[in-house]
Amino acid sequence: MRSRKCSAAAVLLAIFANSVVGTSLTAPKGAKVLTVGVIGDYGWTGWAPSPDNFCFEIMPQLEAAGITVPNEVINDCDPGDKQYITNATALQMDTSSYVGQVCALKNCSAFLSVGDNFYDSGVDFTTSGILRFQAAWVDMYSQGKFKKAPWYQCLGNHDIVPGQSGVDFQTKVAPLYDNRWYFGTQGLPYYTYDLEGQDWSATFVVVDSDCFLSSYQKNTSVYKNAYTTGCHENTQVQVDFLTDAFANSKATWKFLQLHHPYMSAATNETDLAPLISVVERHHGIVLNGHDHCLGHFVNNDTNFILSGAAGYPQAGDCNNGVPLGPYAKFLGANALTAANGFVTMDISSKEINVEYYARDMKFEGEDLYPVDCDLQPSYSFQITQKAT
Ligand SMILES: *[C@@H]1O[C@H](CO)[C@@H](O)[C@H](O)[C@H]1NC(C)=O
Ligand SMILES: *[C@@H]1O[C@H](CO)[C@@H](O)[C@H](O)[C@H]1NC(C)=O
Ligand SMILES: *[C@@H]1O[C@H](CO)[C@@H](O)[C@H](O)[C@H]1NC(C)=O
Ligand SMILES: *[C@@H]1O[C@H](CO)[C@@H](O)[C@H](O)[C@H]1NC(C)=O
Ligand SMILES: *[C@@H]1O[C@H](CO)[C@@H](O)[C@H](O)[C@H]1NC(C)=O
């Protein structure tokens, strides 16, 4: 009797160790061509903004009385985001099934996130944080190709609003919660990983670009907190990390994966220049989000791939489809709206085939962004210049 109990417990423990605790999943190795999805700015589902009477009447009174209102609370009163939430939730859901369809056809093996994983104020280690994590990510991306694909994660500005506790949730708690959520091996907001094919390899460096923006250190910014102030004072740590990772890598391809855009149709975040010059020296490629649309920019021989359209698309972020100069090669937007969608990269030794998938946005009988055959890419280009 006793021994049977013990062995049952041992079996249970083994199952637990295999399925829950332990290391995150990683992409399969050895493929001739490996397809990955680049996805960003998606996590709206489950966000409940504060009520209007609090945001517009009570909050100003509290501020007038000298009571400090936490940044999360201020941010959850963002008037634009309060308006978008109903549509944004529906659009995230429709886009997740679209990404699933494209990825079933294309055999995506992993997803590379460019941040803004949870609107409006990220998630932290509270019951509401757990509920959001479950609804906006675990359950949202759970079918088909999503079932077993790792997501190489990255922090965006919405993710760091709760400060260190939010960063800890995404870097330390989430990988144990769901082994598809990958955040390096050190529990840090920056990390590096390699994808390895049959006759090629690719080094990726993920950084937290929130640390680089001086605008986030203004005392009126909802992004100013002990975490961002600390990492802003020492951005060199991340520049050195990138420099070393690229210098120590002999990979065929090298990528910087981060949230904010250095090249943009809305705001070029020039504070990122120290990171970009490392990328330029190695003939690397930049993956970013933040602007809620799809875009391709080339500056100084460097490709910037914008994939920020998996949640609430915003035409203004892609200047309503009007290029501001020859650096803008593709903008997934028109006068009225930007397209939902994501980017795939087919990585091989010969080239990286980059495809932009814009969703035909039929919504409540209208078509917000008509695309004839949205299982075909709306735009594509190939990178053949290898990393140095
Ligand atoms: C999909 O890609 C993976 C990783 O390269 C590979 O192992 C698998 O055979 C592919 N599946 C199909 C149906 O091509
Ligand atoms: C939400 O979607 C509906 C239906 O397309 C549209 O009429 C409305 O303007 C949208 N609201 C916002 C805030 O985008
Ligand atoms: C921000 O700093 C300025 C100047 O240092 C000060 O006058 C202002 O009261 C501060 N605002 C807040 C919200 O702390
Ligand atoms: C971003 O930089 C490019 C290249 O220097 C420039 O052409 C473009 O006007 C800039 N975009 C914005 C929004 O300022
Ligand atoms: C362009 O690249 C060159 C050489 O890599 C570098 O010296 C220069 O600073 C870069 N310019 C810009 C505007 O990024």
- Whether residue 319 has its Cβ less than 6 Å from ligand 4: no
Q: Name the residue at shortest CA distance from atom 10 of ligand 3.
A: 219
Note whether residue 41 is domain-resident.
yes
Given a contact cutoff of 8 angstroms between Cβ atoms, the answer to whether 272 and 78 are in contact is no
State how many domains the chain has: 1
Which burial class, exposed, middle or buried, applies to 28 when counting CB atoms under 10 A from its CB (0-12, 13-18, 19+)? middle
Rounded to an integer, what distance in angstroms lies between the CA atom of residue 258 and that of residue 272? 10
The answer to whether residue 67 is domain-embedded is: yes
* Within-domain flag for 55: yes
**pLDDT value at 11 more than 90:** no
Determine whether the shortest distance from the Cβ of 327 to ligand 4 is under 6 A.
yes
From the alpha carbon of 299, which atom of ligand 5 is closest?
Answer: 14
Give 118's pLDDT tier (boundaries 50, 70, 90).
very high
- For residue 369, what is the domain's CATH number? 3.60.21.10
Kindly report, residue by residue over 265-276, the tens digit of the pLDDT. Answer: 999 999 999 999
User: Counting atoms of ligand 3 from 1, which one is nearest the CA of 218?
Assistant: 1
- Specify if 116 maps to a domain: yes
- Report the pLDDT averaged over residues 222-243: 98
Asked whether residue 5 is assigned to any structural domain, the reply reads no
Q: Report the SS3 class of residue 298.
A: strand
- For residue 243, report the distance from its CA to the centre of ligand 5, in Å: 16
Which ligand gives the minimal distance to the CA of 362? 2
Does ligand 4 come within 6 angstroms of the Cβ of 363?
A: no
Say if ligand 1 is within 6 A of residue 109 CB. Answer: yes
Mean pLDDT of 161-180: 97
Nearest residue (CA) to ligand 5, atom 14: 300
Q: What is the residue range of 245's domain? A: 33-383
Q: Is residue 2, in this structure, part of any structural domain at all? A: no
362 Cβ inside 6 Å of ligand 2: no
- Nearest ligand, measured from the Cα of 316: 4
Residue 18 reports pLDDT greater than 90? no
Span from the CA of 264 to the centroid of ligand 4 (angstroms): 7
**324 CB near ligand 4 (under 6 Å):** yes
Portion of the chain with pLDDT greater than 70, in percent:
94
In a domain, 17, yes or no: no
Residue 348: CB within 6 Å of ligand 1?
A: no
Among residues 36, 38, 40, the alpha carbon closest in space to that of 338 is found at 40
pLDDT at 10 over 50: no
Q: Which atom of ligand 4 is nearest to the CA of 325?
A: 7
**β-bridge partners, 298:** 303
Which residue's CA is the closest to the ligand 3 atom numbered 6?
A: 219
Categorize the per-residue pLDDT at 366 as very low, low, confident or very high, splitting at 50, 70 and 90.
confident
In this prediction, residue 364 has a pLDDT band, given cuts at 50, 70 and 90, of confident
Q: Which atom of ligand 4 is nearest to the CA of 326?
A: 7
Please name which ligand lies nearest the alpha carbon of 281: 5
Residues 6+ positions from 190 with CB-CB distance below 8 Å: 184, 205, 206, 207, 208, 237, 238, 241
Nearest CA owner, ligand 4 atom 10: 268
Averaged pLDDT of the chain: 94
**pLDDT digit string (tens) for 96-114?**
999 999 999 999 999 999 9
- Position in ligand 4 atom list of the atom nearest CA 319: 13
Token pair recorded at residue 178: 């769901």
Cα–Cα distance measured from residue 388 to residue 369, given in angstroms and rounded to the nearest whole number? 40
Q: What is the pLDDT at residue 228?
A: 98
Residue nearest to atom 3 of ligand 1 (CA): 109
Beta bridge partners of 36: 110, 345
pLDDT of residue 168: 98
Decide if 194 is inside a domain. yes
Amino acid at 43: G
What's phi and psi for 230, nearest 5 deg? -60, -50
Cα separation, 254 vs 286, whole angstroms: 9
Residue nearest atom 2 of ligand 2, based on CA coordinates: 87
Q: What is the pLDDT of residues 34-71, one digit of tens each?
A: 999 999 999 999 999 999 999 999 999 999 999 999 99
pLDDT for residue 22? 55
Q: Whose CA is nearest to atom 12 of ligand 5?
A: 300
What pLDDT is attached to residue 5?
39
Compute the distance between CA of residue 169 and CA of residue 157 in angstroms, rounded to an integer. Answer: 15
When pLDDT is averaged across residues 163-176 and rounded to a whole number, the result is 97
Q: Is the pLDDT of residue 9 over 80?
A: no
Residues 291-319, mean pLDDT to the nearest whole number: 98
CB of 280 shorter than 6 A to ligand 5: yes
In the reported structure, the alpha carbon of residue 263 is separated from the centroid of ligand 5 by a whole-number distance in angstroms of: 14
- Whole-number Å distance between alpha carbons of 112 and 129: 22
Give the number of the ligand closest to the Cα of residue 324: 4
Residue nearest (by alpha carbon) to ligand 3 atom 14:
219
Which H or E run contains 331?
Answer: strand 328-331
For residue 2, pLDDT over 80 is answered with no
Å from CA of 360 to ligand 2 middle: 16
Report how far ligand 2's centroid is from the alpha carbon of 105 (Å): 30
Phi, psi of 3 (to 5 degrees): -65, -35
Binding site membership of 384 for ligand 3 (Cβ less than 6 Å)? no
